[in-house]
Amino acid sequence: MSERRRRAAGRGDLKVLPGQGRRESLWKQSLAYHILLALAAVIVVLFACQWLGRALLAYRLDMVVAQYGVMEERLEIEGLVTRSEQVYTAPYSGVVVEMAEGGERVPLGAPLVEIAVLPDEEVRKSKKVEEEKEESFWEKIWGALQRLRGGREEEEEASPNPAGMVEGGTGETVTVNSLSAGLLSYQLDDWDGDGFAYLSREEADRITNKEPLQRGALVEKGEPLLKIVDNWSWYFSFVLPLSPGRTVAAQKQLTFYFAFAPERPLTGEQVEAAVDPEEEAVRLTYRLGTQVQGFEEQRWAEAAISYQPQEGIIIPEQAITRKEEETGVLVNQGGVVFFNPVQVLRRRNGEALVEGLPAYSLVITRPELVREGQRLW
C-alpha cells in the first residue's frame, strides 16, 4: 500500500458541517431586497397615480387654443323675392302634348311648349266633363282631336294656317317659343306686383301658387303657361324695425343664408333703403347675382343675414370667469393656472369674441375645476 493511501485511510471519513451564520446573512439580504423593491413599486405607483390624476384633470379641463377669427352679428328675417321674369300665355286653346324641361336655361327661340289646337268651346266642354268625371281624361282628349281632324278633312280650305301667328304652327299644333334667353319655370303664382314690394307675412300668405303645367293638360287661350326668368340677378325685399334696421341699412353689402339653400351663403348688394317714420321701420332691398337651386320658385322666403364683421380672439363662451370684479379666463402657462383679464366684445352661438388674450393661449374652458396658481403637472 502506498504512503498516500495509508494517510487517507488514517484520517477516516470527512463531513461538511452546515454554517448557520451564512444562511442568516442570505435571508437578511433577500428581505432587504424585497423591501427595497416594494418601496420602489410604491413610489412608481404613487408617481403614476399623480401623473394620471393630473392628466385626467387636464382632460376634464377641456383646454382649447385661442385663435384669431371674425364674428358677425346674425339676424333672422323674412321677405319677398322678386325677379325679372316674363310670363307666357297660351296662344290657342288645346291640349299640351310636349314640354321642355323646367329648371333649365333656354336660349332665344327655343321651343318651350307644343299645344294640339282645339276649338275654345271644345276645351271648355272637355274641362267641364273632366270636372264632372263623366269619362276618362284621355278619352276626352282623343275624342276632341278626332272630331277636329274629321272636320278639317271634310273642309279642305285654303285659308292661312290658324297657328301661323306663332312660329312652328302646323294647323293642328302650335309651338310656343322663347322670346328671350333665361331659366324656364312652370311654377306660377298670382303675384303681379311691379318693382320692389314690402309685404307683411299676412299679405304674403294671400299669394297663391298655381298648379304647374303638365303634359296632357287642357289649356284655354290666354291662360298662363310658364315663365322665363332672368337668372343673372334677383331681389330680396324685407322690413326691419328701426333698431337694428338703421345699423343693417348702413351695410351696403350683406351675406344671406336662405332657408331654401342654407349651405350656400349669398352676397347681396343694397339697391334700396328707406326709413318709414310712421311705421318706425326700415325698408331694404338687396340684389343677389348668384343663381341657386329653386330660387325661381320662391316668392316669400326666410333668411338669416350676417353683418358688422369684427375681428378678435374667439374662445368658448363657457371659459369666461370672474375674479372679484374683473372678467377674464384661466389659462395654462407651463403647467400652472393663471388668470388672464379680457374684454368681451361679442357673444354668439356659444362663442365669445374677446380682447386682451394672447393668440394661441391654452384656455381652460371649465374654470370651476381649478384655481389660480394650481399646478397641473
For residue 134, pLDDT over 60 is answered with no
Judgement on whether residues 335 and 232 belong to the same structural domain of the protein: no
Angle at 354 between CA 57 and CA 76, to 5 degrees: 105
For residue 205, pLDDT over 50 is answered with yes
> Domain boundary at 274, 309, 344, which?
309
What is the chain's Cα-based Rg? 44
E strands, 295-373, in order: 300-316, 320-323, 326-333, 336-341, 343-348, 351-355, 362-363
Which range of residues forms the domain containing residue 332?
60-69+312-369
Judgement on whether residues 88 and 232 belong to the same structural domain of the protein: yes
Judgement on whether residues 181 and 216 belong to the same structural domain of the protein: yes
For residue 24, pLDDT over 70 is answered with no
Judgement on whether residues 213 and 321 belong to the same structural domain of the protein: no
Beta strands 336-341; 326-333: pairing state? antiparallel
Query: What pLDDT digit, counting tens, does each position of 260-272 carry?
Result: 998 899 999 999 9
The larger pLDDT score, comparing residue 132 to residue 193, is at 193
What does the alpha-carbon distance between residue 213 and residue 351 come to, in Å, rounded to a whole number? 49
Model confidence at 157, in pLDDT bands (50, 70, 90)?
very low
Mean pLDDT of the chain: 82
Model confidence at 149, in pLDDT bands (50, 70, 90)?
low
What does the alpha-carbon distance between residue 225 and residue 221 come to, in Å, rounded to a whole number? 10
- In this prediction, residue 164 carries a pLDDT of 34
- In this prediction, residue 156 carries a pLDDT of 39
Residue carrying the nine cell digits 333672422: 76
Name the packing angle between helices 120-132 and 137-155 (round to 10°).
Answer: 160
- In this prediction, residue 349 carries a pLDDT of 85
Judgement on whether residues 333 and 301 belong to the same structural domain of the protein: no
Cβ atoms of 305 and 293 within 8 Å: the answer is no
pTM, rounded to two decimals:
0.63
> Domain boundary at 294, 309, 324, which?
309
What does the alpha-carbon distance between residue 329 and residue 352 come to, in Å, rounded to a whole number? 11
**Would you say residue 374 lies in a domain?**
no
> In the numeric block, which cell numbers belong to residue 160?
292661312
Cβ of 162: how many Cβ atoms within 10 Å? 15
**Would you say residue 292 lies in a domain?**
yes
Which residues, 6+ apart, have CB-to-CB distance to 202 below 8 Å?
none
The amino acid occupying position 122 is: E
Judgement on whether residues 210 and 340 belong to the same structural domain of the protein: no
> In the numeric block, which cell numbers belong to residue 177?
317659343
Cβ atoms of 299 and 283 within 8 Å: the answer is no
